[in-house]
Amino acid sequence: MIIDMPDTTTNQVNKRLVRLRDEGGAVALGRVLTLVVLADEGDIEESVEAANDASREHPCRVIVVAPAAEGSSTHLDAQIRVGGDAGASEVVVLRASKPLLARADTLVMPLLLPDAPIVAWWPREAPEVPSQDPVGAMATRRIIDSTTAKHPQEMLGNLAGTYAPGDTDLAWARVTLWRALIAAAVEQPPFEPVLSVTVEGQKRHTSLDLLAAWLGARLNCPAEVVRTASDDAITRVVLERRSGPIVLDRPDGRTVTITQPGKPARRIALPIRALNEALIEELRRLDPDEVFEEVLTRGLGHVTNRTAA
C-alpha cells in the first residue's frame, strides 16, 4: 500500500504511521534499526528496492530523504509504503525543499524508532565528512558507496582521510567472498611467503583498491592495482610466491578459476555482488569494523596503481 501526503510535516507522517499500525496490526517492536537513505531523485526506487530486500534479514524502518522539485522555500511531500510495497519494513519517502534538506536531521527525528540504532546510507555522492553530516552524526553506522560516485578514487581517499568509527563503504562488502577464497588458497601447502600481489579489474571500481590494501597489509608485501577496460569489477588476483603464483581468474564476472602449482584448477561460482547483497552484508554488524579501518587508513596508501595498455 502506498499513501501520498503532499505538502505535509514529519509529525503528520508519524501520526499516520501510528494510525496505520493501529488499524492494520503491524508491530514496530520487531524492527532492529532505522535506515536513513539520503538519495537523489533518480536513486530512490533502486535504493528502496535494495532496502526492502535487506529488511527481510534486518527488519527496519526505511526513511528516504531526497530533494523536492523546485518550488516553495519550505515544502515537504511524503509517501508512506507499507505491506507488499515495503518488504519487511515501513518505508517513508520524504521529498524536501533545499532549506529543509540543509537540516535533514530535524526531518527524520520524529520518524526514528525509539531505542533502535540508526544507519545512514548515501547511495551515490556522500558528504565530505560523513561523521559530521547532520544525519551522519546521529548514526551508529554510515554507509557510502564509492563505486557509484562521480569520482570513485577521490571519494575513497577522502573517506580514508576523514574516517571515524562507524564509517564503511559498500565496496568493502563486495570483496568479502574474494577475501575468503584468497585466505583459503594461501593457507594450503606449500606454506610460503607471498612476495607481491596484483589485483586487476574495472578501472572505476574501488573494490580493487580495498582488496589490494587488505592483501598488502595482511601479507606484508607490495600490492598493485591494474585498471583495465573490463566491465566486470575484479577480474583477476595474482599472488606471487617462490614456487609459482596463485591465480584467481574471473573474466566473466560469474565464475572464478583458482590455479596454483602442483594442484588441479578449481572453478567456483563467484558472481558480482548486487547492491542488495552488499547492503545486507553491511547491516549484519552495527559496531565499527576494525579491519576496514586498518585497510582504509593504513593499507590504502601503500597500494600502487597503473592502467593496463
My answer on whether 142 and 7 are in the same domain is yes
pLDDT at 83: 78
The verdict on residue 136 lying in a domain is yes
Over the chain, what is the mean pLDDT? 91
Q: Is the peptide bond before 288 cis (omega within 30 degrees of 0)?
A: no
The verdict on residue 64 lying in a domain is yes
The verdict on residue 97 lying in a domain is yes
My answer on whether 26 and 140 are in the same domain is yes
My answer on whether 157 and 181 are in the same domain is no
pLDDT at 91: 93
Please compute the mean of the pLDDT values over residues 157-167 and round it to a whole number: 96
My answer on whether 50 and 162 are in the same domain is yes
Please compute the mean of the pLDDT values over residues 93-111 and round it to a whole number: 92
My answer on whether 264 and 297 are in the same domain is yes
Least confident window among 80-89, 149-158, 199-208, 267-276: 80-89
My answer on whether 109 and 249 are in the same domain is no
Does the pLDDT value for residue 58 go beyond 60?
yes
Residue 30's pLDDT band (boundaries 50, 70, 90)? low
The verdict on residue 233 lying in a domain is yes
pLDDT at 25: 55
Please compute the mean of the pLDDT values over residues 18-35 and round it to a whole number: 73
My answer on whether 151 and 33 are in the same domain is yes
pLDDT at 108: 95
Residue type, 79: Q
Sequence-separated (6 or more) residues with CB below 8 Å from residue 142: 119, 120, 121, 130, 131, 133, 136, 164, 166, 167, 168
Nearest to 133 by CA among 172, 159, 102, 170: 102
My answer on whether 138 and 9 are in the same domain is yes
Does the pLDDT value for residue 230 go beyond 90?
no
My answer on whether 165 and 180 are in the same domain is no
Which of the listed residues 132, 148, 169 is the one where a domain comes to its end? 169
The verdict on residue 29 lying in a domain is yes
The verdict on residue 281 lying in a domain is no
Residue 216's pLDDT band (boundaries 50, 70, 90)? very high
Does the pLDDT value for residue 102 go beyond 90?
no
Percent of the chain with pLDDT over 70: 95
State the Cα–Cα distance between residues 18 and 21, nearest whole angstrom. Answer: 5
The verdict on residue 227 lying in a domain is yes
Q: Is the dihedral of CA 2, 273, 209, 179 positive or negative?
A: positive
Residue 213's pLDDT band (boundaries 50, 70, 90)? very high
Which of the listed residues 112, 145, 169 is the one where a domain comes to its end? 169
**150, 206 Cβ separation under 8 angstroms:** no
My answer on whether 84 and 192 are in the same domain is no
My answer on whether 165 and 213 are in the same domain is no
Q: Give the pairing of strands 234-240 and 196-202.
A: antiparallel
Please compute the mean of the pLDDT values over residues 230-251 and round it to a whole number: 93
Residue 138's pLDDT band (boundaries 50, 70, 90)? very high
Residue 69 is classified by DSSP as P
Please compute the mean of the pLDDT values over residues 11-18 and round it to a whole number: 91
Residue 301 is classified by DSSP as G
Does the pLDDT value for residue 101 go beyond 60?
yes
Number of domains in the chain: 2
**34, 118 Cβ separation under 8 angstroms:** yes
Q: Which of 26-30, 67-71, 247-251 has the highest mean pLDDT?
A: 247-251
Which of the listed residues 109, 139, 169 is the one where a domain comes to its end? 169
Q: How far is CA 178 from the centre of its chain?
A: 16
pLDDT at 24: 63
**Segments forming the whole domain that contains residue 211:** 176-276+286-307
Does the pLDDT value for residue 147 go beyond 90?
yes
My answer on whether 14 and 136 are in the same domain is yes
